[in-house]
Amino acid sequence: MSKFIKGVTALLLMISILGLGVPSQVIAQMPPEWQPWTTYRVGDRVTYQGAVYQCIQGHTSQPGWEPPNVPALWQPVSGATATPTQTSTPGVTSTPTRTATPSGATPTPTRTPTAPPSGGCAPAWDPNRIYVAGDLASYNGVNYQAAYWTQGQRPDLHSGPPGSGQPWIPLGACRGTPTSGATVTPTRTPTPGVTPTPTRTPTPGVTATPTRTPTPGPTATPTRTPTPPPSTDSVIVGYFVQWGIYARNYHVKNIVTSGSASKLTHINYAFANVDSSGRVVLGDPYADIDRFYDAAYSVDGQPDCWDPGCLRGNFNQLRKLKAMYPHLKILLSVGGWTWSTNFGVAARNPQAFADSAYALIHDPRWAGLFDGIDIDWEYPNACGLTCDNSGPEAFKNLMAALRARFGPNFLITAAVPAGYDKINAADYAGAAQYVDWYNIMTYDFFGAWDPDGPTAYHAPLYNWPQIPTPNYYADYAVQLYKSKGIPASKLVLGVPFYGRGWTGVPAGNTNGLGQPATGPAPGTYEQGIEDYKVLRNAPGAVYYGAGTMHKYDGTRFWSYDDPISLAGKQAYRRSQGMRGVMFWELSGDTADGELITALYNNR
């Protein structure tokens, strides 16, 4: 029995003792109190703040979806007041009842929308604003109320009566000139859970299937540290993969034609390799410096030359791109999932590694192209494709050697893990003094390398009830890094431009989430993985949760991010004072840069 029911029972018994004659059967007739993270079916009844509501659309509740806030899901039972005021009984002190909140989460206050003046128009709908349940907006002389979280969905095109599932509920015609939109409501940030359990975090975009690492012992929940004001110079970092020029047919010119070049601040070129002697070398010399680009495929419409000493390939195209977009910074990314094996060798002689990186980046053939270096070691003193036993200081020593060799004005960044076991395996806090920022790989938490499921979000921002491995979500990783003393201004949130999926998935009562599967869903280049540009047009219904989303068509389950969920992640990133956002990788976006536009518009 919930705390609320116990409190009401005690109160009614007290009233009965005072002789006020409340019938005992009233207690038995009270529906259970509304709870978050609970599955409700059509017809279910709950009590919330003294009022009774009936479910009109099946769903799994979340904080912020309290019945008065979401008329698309709940309707007050006849005779009940949507937002009642609790009155005290003579002789009894009324104690406010708190809505139960899942462990570690911050209670979400009930929103009471302010109605516009009678017949007047609410603030004009703003496509860039985030609206939550109860918010009001007007469009073309009609008032609307938000049924749930929405952004960029025009009310006249996405509205319907309560229970329709549409994000907007029409309230009728209005008169007068609407005022400008209100301040965006910040995204709630729940506290991480309390039972750390590790999970592997593979590098995105690779074909190898990683091996799960053993589960270490429990680690204390990180203490949330105060968040500084959001940075005014946020970054948008995108990875360009050298192999994208082959089967994917994605070239540097596509960064321009998609409109992405003007919205990016940094491009990480993936990857340079680490050879068996621990030196940095080109990863694919043909793609990097030799492929010929004719006028049609060249960034500036000018073909490459064949003369001796001419630079061709991606490096020449990136050099032309920088000339067209001088604000862009290019970093050479070293390693990745497949090419991290020899970082352990490099760690034995950090100075030699740094010298080789310096020589490669300052090669006279492309000198001036790279503004920085990005280290993608998967993973220091932990297991990735292979296991490293260099010790917790190895990563710090490597970054210190790079900073000493390149000096204070050269960008040095690193792609770092999101699994707490790997975060705790190396001294990322000690190395932070040498880097400009860390790109946290907050994706690939779960995927079809577990072919039989359970299905799960692969890039969750927050915890959710069916999470297969506790504490494997982005906010937990962010708070853990911050608890180690790493400034939020040196943390960049990673987001995927691709999805991970399963097939043979039953619906259950969760629209496929947390269900068993028969195997990975078919993908264009690899089973269980697919680009956003393909998934956006795939069949199925979309469901949002845990700060991300999934699509389910009755048998196939795909977890990925879209413009709506990315807007929410940018809001989270701003609320945490983080440096910016990073994504893997450019070729997964649409031809017109739909995802990067969402990141840019919500920066």
Q: 3-state class of 512 per DSSP? A: coil
* The residue to which tokens 């032309």 are assigned: 320
CA 379 to chain centre: 22
CB-CB contact of 520 with 467 (8 Å):
no
CA 272 vs CA 69, 310, 373, 597: distances in Å: 51, 21, 10, 28
Put residue 471 in one of left, alpha, beta given phi > 0 → left and psi -120 to 50 → alpha.
left
Return d(Cα 472, Cα 423) in angstroms, integer.
12
Which amino acid, residue 433?
Answer: Q
Q: Which residues are catalytic?
A: 378
Return d(Cα 592, Cα 284) in angstroms, integer.
28
Q: What is the largest CA-CA distance in the chain?
A: 103
Buried b (16+ CB within 10 A) or exposed e, 463-478: bbbbbbbbbbbbbbbb
CB-CB contact of 27 with 34 (8 Å):
no
CB-CB contact of 335 with 356 (8 Å):
no
CA 558 vs CA 476, 512, 583: distances in Å: 23, 9, 18
Measured in residues, the chain has a length of 603
Beta bridge partners of 581: 236, 493
